[in-house]
Chain A
Amino acid sequence: MEPIIEIKDINLSYTLVNPKIQSVKDFITSMSFKKLFTKKDVIKNLSLNIYKSEVLGIVGKNGTGKSTLLKAIAGILEPMSGKIIVRGKIAPLLSLGSGIELELTGYENIKLLGSLMGYSRKQMMSMNEKVIAFSELSDEQLQAPVKTYSSGMMARLSFSIAITETPEILIIDEVLAVGDQGFQRKCMNRINEIHKKGGTILFVSHSLADVQRICTRGICINNNVIEKEGNLHEVGKYYNSLFEN
């Protein structure tokens, strides 16, 4: 079977303005344009195939490149070398509240976020009610500017928009943690439902329990590479072992 996401030997690094250069004086005394930028490797020679209707759990320590990998798959970051082929439409949930405009109301934000996530006007109109129902936000709350919301309420808003329609590929980067228990459970059920309907899900989380509950396969990223891949139990054990020393 052809993988829905094919990652072939990618390398990813960040180009940053050299943190040592903080003023014009530093720049002039360093006297070099080359030194102006520094490179930081985040992912090295990584290959991975993800198949349709898989739920892939991704674990790893902070700062090892999990989010960077997801960003590359979502088409936000371009790898320096290698290739990523994605055969489907992606609904990205990479950070909480991105795209949400605090001054606008909940209703206005639903429209805005829906368009950012790639829904057409027609689709938005037909899914509007479902989004509102899933978010469990009241009419009164949705008429208020989002700056009055708690972070949990904001999570409800962006999550509802991303998963109301069944996305072909759903990417979730640790955004569930802020919702209350009821909403978290609801989201987990919805993720299961999407999985059963044939959706593919990439799930990054620090909660091993969540990963083991909903995922079908796991990978553990460490030191910029995939160090462990396969069975959830083994990946979990390996992940835990990273913290024992």
Chain B
Amino acid sequence: MNIYHNNILRNLVIRNLKLKYKNSFLGYLWSLITPLVFLIIFNFVFGLAFDFIENYSLYVLTGLVFWLFFTNSTNEIIGSLFRNSSIIKSISIPLEIYPLSSLITEFANLILTFVAFIVLMLFFGFQFSWETILIIPVILIFSLFILGFSTMLSVLNIYFRDVSILWNTINPALFYLTPIAYTLEIVPEKFHWILKLNPLYFFFEGGRDILYSNSVPSLNCWIYMIILASTSMLLGYLTLKKLRRGLISNM
């Protein structure tokens, strides 16, 4: 990466952000409305059933913000090479730039969402403490985790378009496998290991510890997050390196 690449990256992110809301009337507000609608539905549907969960609204909200960042950024990154194929075919730019620009776009979106949602979270009883600052490293590690495996899928998606279709079917399944609307406690103990096989589990646990319980995530949780993120990045790097050569002819 050199100064030209930084400039390209910046311009691609600006382009992505502009395109995201270009033709919609409400524009950026959609990134607030979508989680709000989810929140209302969840409160209605699950709020009564799970009335034993303390401060359910705050619980769901913290999970939702994380989840929406996850689905939006994976979707964006998986499609990134395909969407930029006309540029890839005519200008020589390191391919890593495209997934990275998608991630940064969604990251910027997350920050904008967060600013507005902090207000809502305060309303639901969230309190700032020194632990709150830890959400920054958690989100950064989570981002690397997303970037790695999504880059791998974006490469495979060039060879077989089935990949993005497949992802769209796996995605909702992951949503229900992750404790977003429910807590781990309501699941019988003997099934806990299944939920923990889901790599997303640890990132959500980490995020929840900080934003919902105002506590520091356990050492165990940090280690899992870091291992998952590095494995994912390695996968992304290796796929891109191995399959780079054939990409252009299949675009």
Contacts and interface: CB of A to CB of B under 8 A. Distances in A.
Instruction: Indicate, yes or no, whether A interacts with B.
Output: yes
Interface of A: 14-17, 37, 40, 71, 74-78, 90, 92, 94-95, 97-99, 101, 103-104, 108, 111-112, 115-121
Interface of B: 3-4, 7-8, 10-12, 14-15, 18-19, 22-23, 86-93, 159-160, 244-246, 248-250
B58 to A, nearest CB: 38
24 contacts: A16-B249, A17-B159, A37-B246, A74-B90, A74-B92, A76-B89, A76-B92, A76-B248, A92-B90, A94-B89, A94-B91, A95-B86, A98-B86, A98-B90, A101-B15, A103-B19, A103-B22, A111-B11, A115-B7, A115-B8, A115-B10, A116-B93, A119-B4, A120-B4
Given A16-B250, A75-B92, A99 B87 contact: yes
Contacts of A77: 248
A95 B89 contact: yes
> Secondary structure of the B side of the interface?
helix
Contact of A92 (B19, B86, B91, B159): B91
Contact of A98 (B7, B23, B87): B87
Nearest to A101: B15
A148 to B, nearest CB: 14
A213 B109 CA distance: 53
A119 B23 CA distance: 29
Nearest to A99: B87
Contacts of B87: 98-99, 116
A104 B18 contact: yes
Contacts of A17: 159-160, 250
A115 B91 contact: no
List 3 A-B pairs, minimum CB-CB distance, nearest first.
A14-B249, A75-B92, A15-B246
Contact of B3 (A94, A103, A104, A120): A120
Nearest to A145: B22
A15 B244 CA distance: 11
A103 B90 contact: no
Contacts of B245: 15, 78
B20 to A, nearest CB: 10
A94 B92 CA distance: 11
Given A15-B249, A75-B92, A92-B90, A101 B19 contact: yes
A115 B4 CA distance: 7
B7 A99 contact: no
Contact of A108 (B4, B18, B159): B18
Contacts of B244: 78
Contacts of B3: 120
Given A95-B90, A108-B18, 6 more contacts: A14-B249, A74-B91, A98-B91, A116-B93, A117-B91, A118-B4
Contacts of A101: 15, 19
A163 to B, nearest CB: 15
Q: Which of A40, A97, A116, A121 has the most chain B CB within a 10 Å cutoff?
A: A116
A80 to B, nearest CB: 8
Contacts of B14: 112
A103 B23 contact: yes
B90 A99 contact: yes
A76 B91 contact: yes
Given A101-B19, A121-B7, A92 B92 contact: yes
